[in-house]
Structure 1
């Protein structure tokens, strides 16, 4: 497991690693960026997308079934990823956080590199589809401060509840221990 601390350098390292490995998602490669909320996963995914027009990013925030959706994210990921393994577009339902319900479907065409980022981006049942697994982490206090800044102070209690769900999820998946790269 390699370690990195700069998002730009980490993105370059991740892309090089992904492209050096055989495709795992049909003709494409899957980069799963996992880790707790507020750790910097979106920042890393954005840096990856800037490196190449062949990179497509899917944010799990658009796929969770609300605040209680983390335990079922593997079902949504399966619907997205399995069609891509045979060169067909994948799909997922887009969750509207303001309305509190799903609001439409997003189609994801096969790409040379698909980046899935968010809590639960890697799950054991779909692990063989992952070309590179990246774990992103930051100190708990910093992560909470970032999440509150992003979502608002009124959401702090929800964020703390979500953090407990994350802990349970990560204990089950062991994503950090399986990571090819840890970004701090």
Structure 2
């Protein structure tokens, strides 16, 4: 997918703790020295209640300008201060956007966008997310999950995926990837 001429942006969506960041890091590393902008929604969410605001920022501040061949950008969220931080921008070119809500509410299909849905069972995801954030996510899990489920109910993002990556298996094992035709391959 990173070497197809008709793909210019890869959106990686899925619930918290499913493995989106790890998958995105692997994709960018596979590009080697070729320039690839990586945008993480964790840098965009304006606090724990900011899923919908981040979705809007990605659609209008990043993907909108990117589609026009222009530089896009956003204000990073300073999690330590719980306030907007420095400005970040992204130049036109190959773009990887990863995070909860990356597909957004825009259901239009574009050959230049490739949608990857990363999934894992709820119990696995929750354990991963809470361990990863070393207690910082614990008190916010329920509120975040409610926003997440509202987004899924509204936008049905998994249905829009070009491929689905199941990360239930330990990282050392092969993950399951389902493509458009429903075929399953190892990664």
Return the match for 2:28 from 37, 49, 74: 49
TM-score (norm 1): 0.82
1:81-124 deviation digits (Å, cap 9, x = unpaired)? 2122222211111001110011111011111x201000000023
In structure 2, distance between residues paired with 1:140 and 1:43:
18
User: How far has the Cα of 1:41 moved from its partner?
Assistant: 0.2
1:179 is matched with which residue?
161
Q: Tell whether 2:151 aligns with 1:146.
A: no
Unaligned runs of 5+ in 1: 1-13, 24-28
2:9 is matched with which residue?
30
Change (3 A) 1:154 1:114: closer
- Note the 1:6-155 alignment, pairs <5 A: 14-16=1-3, 19-21=4-6, 29-52=8-31, 53-77=34-58, 78-111=60-93, 113-125=94-106, 127-128=108-109, 131-153=113-135, 155=137
Q: Secondary structure at the match of 2:18?
A: coil
159-168 or 127-136: which moved more?
Answer: 127-136
In structure 2, distance between residues paired with 1:79 and 1:126:
17
In structure 2, distance between residues paired with 1:161 and 1:140:
15
Change (3 A) 1:156 1:43: same
Kindly indicate whether the alpha-carbon contact (under 8 Å) linking 1:92 and 1:106 is maintained by their aligned counterparts in 2.
Answer: yes
153-162 or 82-91: which moved more?
Answer: 153-162
In structure 2, distance between residues paired with 1:88 and 1:173:
27
TM-score (norm 2): 0.80
1:98-155 deviation digits (Å, cap 9, x = unpaired)? 10011111011111x2010000000233744561111000011111111111112353
Q: Greater RCO between the two (CA within 8 Å, min separation 6)?
A: 1
In structure 2, distance between residues paired with 1:110 and 1:83:
8
User: How far has the Cα of 1:161 moved from its partner?
Assistant: 2.1
Kindly indicate whether the alpha-carbon contact (under 8 Å) linking 1:76 and 1:92 is maintained by their aligned counterparts in 2.
Answer: yes
Kindly indicate whether the alpha-carbon contact (under 8 Å) linking 1:147 and 1:159 is maintained by their aligned counterparts in 2.
Answer: no
In structure 1, distance between residues paired with 2:51 and 2:137:
17
Unaligned runs of 5+ in 2: 167-187
1:170 is matched with which residue?
152
Q: Secondary structure at the match of 1:67?
A: coil
